[in-house]
Structure 1
Amino acid sequence: MGLNGTSEDIVKRREEFGQNHVPQKPKTFVELVWEALQDVTLIILMLAAIFSLVQSFYHPPTCSKRHSGKASGEAATGRIEGDAILLLVVCMVLVTAFNNWSKEKQFRSPQSHIKHDHKFTVVRGEQVIQINVSEIVVGDIAQAKYCERIKSMHLAIAELSLVESDY
């Protein structure tokens, strides 16, 4: 039951499936801003802002003098709309990047303590042993106690219900 427990088997599983840890290199704020800019809605808003700004700077050559006041008012409105949309996009990107940065920071702070301090009970070579959470590999049968947390990159849980019968 469980893994056979040999070191060759454990090494093979770590090479094939990877180790049970979160990559240590956190994303920089600039990387998070770049990810936020990849949102389709924000891209559409940026294109609309650029289009509005281009229209505000374009003055057709056939414009007569009596319509020049109207054209300058429309250009100012187009400029304000474009600036407002760009300001909105910048605010959304910065808020999204800051939220992602703070979530990542919260996630990584307890990770170092769990990696070194938390022991877990697994079945290897038909023996029940305690190992660090970072040493769990694919195929380990983990014995989870009530309300115990398992930190793993990929986790499959099979539940077995035991039913008492009168037979």
Structure 2
Amino acid sequence: MEDYLRKNFDVEPKRPSDEALMRWRSAVAVVKNPTRRFRMVADLAKRAEDERKRKNLQEKIRVAMYVQKAALQFIDAGNRGRYNLSKEVRDAGFGIEPDEIASFARSHDNKGLEGHGGIAGLARDVSVSLKDGVVSSKIPVRQNVYGLNRYVEKPSKGFWMFFWEALQDLTLIILMISAAVSIGVGIATEGWPKGMYDGLGIILSILLVVMVTAVSDYKQSLQFKELDKEKKNIMVQVTRDGRRQKVSIYDLVVGDIVHLSIGDQVPADGIFISGHSLQVDESSLSGESEPVDISEDKPFLLAGTKVQDGAGC
């Protein structure tokens, strides 16, 4: 009997399965005041509805990504013949335009990549050795032509925005109204300027409180921004000048050979060169929990994805 009860009615104290909760609820279905007795038990219907909504949202995001990819491939296919090398690109010694490289990454254009001779041909176009990597002395030229590995950040709030937000406190608003009333009554009863002293004192106190609050919040905002910047400043291994070295993801340039291992986050849109058993998790982008089986047939890597297994570059 004890084994039967444990098997059919035992509920784990932490994160019990839906099946176990359903069996337990079925066993105690006839109880007095079930709403109160089950108030600490998970709402299985709500949990199932939330899970259904989550899966629907992930499916919509996944479909949108596929549709966007197909549309971009169609657009890029029409524009493929219109990429002409600019004088700036030719003078720098490169054989491909920045916009064309961007089109490869965003639309996973295998045909466009093959049109440049595959990975070896693309490496030649961006003037990089797949063995020795880029030449450090030429990095400023690459950054000038192809740009920096940074995105435009949303500007942080200025001091006066914090000042305005501090003024929105309900208590301070009531005090400001009281100060205005005090000034009006004081001038009417005691005349100018003696009648406004009390109200003016309240206003100055309010401004002092608001100023202190705004300064404190502004300093915290700057500290948080600095900490967030340090957190995002991830170091990765690259091959430059024929040897491995660590650089910040912000210092990566087009043509860098980046070495990835388990747990690494792909620091930029890239193309798989070589490796073994490389599995990349795209759940942070599409919600898809299964790892992508990226490879020589599907060489495109998306920035922000995470390496689950294997290694590559």
Using the size of structure 1 for normalisation, the TM-score is 0.50
2:214 aligned to 91, 97, 107, which one?
A: 97
The reply to whether residue 130 of structure 1 matches residue 247 of structure 2 is no
The letter for the 2-side match of 1:58 is A
Q: For the structure 1 residues 140 and 57, does the alpha-carbon distance in structure 2 shift closer, same or farther, using more than 3 Å as the test? A: farther
Which residue pairs with 1:56 in the alignment?
A: 186
Report how many residues are paired.
Answer: 105
Give 4+ residue runs of structure 1 displaced > 4 Å after superposition. Answer: 132-136, 138-141
CA distance in 1, matches of 2:267, 2:220: 22
The letter for the 2-side match of 1:137 is S
The reply to whether residue 45 of structure 1 matches residue 45 of structure 2 is no
CA distance in 2, matches of 1:24, 1:113: 17
Deviation per CA, 1:124-164: give whole Å up to 9, x if none: xxxx54216999826487xxxxxxxxxxxxxxxxxxxxxxx
1:24 aligned to 154, 158, 162, which one?
A: 154
CA radius of gyration, larger in = 2
CA distance in 2, matches of 1:86, 1:118: 51
The letter for the 1-side match of 2:167 is L
Which residue pairs with 1:106 in the alignment?
A: 223
Q: For the structure 1 residues 31 and 140, does the alpha-carbon distance in structure 2 shift closer, same or farther, using more than 3 Å as the test? A: farther
Equivalent residue of 1:52, what SS?
helix
CA distance in 1, matches of 2:174, 2:267: 44
Query: What RMSD over aligned residues (CA atoms) do the two structures have, in Å?
Result: 3.8
Equivalent residue of 1:106, what SS?
helix
> CA shift at 1:53, angstroms?
0.5
Q: For the structure 1 residues 111 and 136, does the alpha-carbon distance in structure 2 shift closer, same or farther, using more than 3 Å as the test? A: farther
Q: For the structure 1 residues 81 and 27, does the alpha-carbon distance in structure 2 shift closer, same or farther, using more than 3 Å as the test? A: same
Q: For the structure 1 residues 100 and 42, does the alpha-carbon distance in structure 2 shift closer, same or farther, using more than 3 Å as the test? A: same
Deviation per CA, 1:99-118: give whole Å up to 9, x if none: 11000000001222221316
C-alpha contact 1:52 1:82 (8 A) present in aligned 2: yes
Which residue pairs with 1:36 in the alignment?
A: 166
CA distance in 2, matches of 1:54, 1:84: 14
- The answer to which of 23-32 and 79-88 deviates more is 23-32
The letter for the 2-side match of 1:84 is G
Q: For the structure 1 residues 54 and 100, does the alpha-carbon distance in structure 2 shift closer, same or farther, using more than 3 Å as the test? A: same
Which residue pairs with 2:198 in the alignment?
A: 81
- Structure 2: gaps (5+ residues): 1-60, 69-150, 237-261, 269-281, 290-313
The letter for the 1-side match of 2:225 is R
C-alpha contact 1:117 1:132 (8 A) present in aligned 2: no
Q: For the structure 1 residues 90 and 136, does the alpha-carbon distance in structure 2 shift closer, same or farther, using more than 3 Å as the test? A: farther
Equivalent residue of 2:264, what SS?
strand
Structure number with higher relative contact order (C-alpha < 8 Å, ≥ 6 residues apart): 1
Equivalent residue of 1:131, what SS?
coil
- Structure 1: gaps (5+ residues): 1-7, 16-20, 60-70, 120-127, 142-167
Which residue pairs with 1:117 in the alignment?
A: 234
Equivalent residue of 2:265, what SS?
strand
Equivalent residue of 2:156, what SS?
coil
Q: Percent identity?
A: 28
Using the size of structure 2 for normalisation, the TM-score is 0.28
The letter for the 1-side match of 2:231 is I
Equivalent residue of 1:58, what SS?
helix
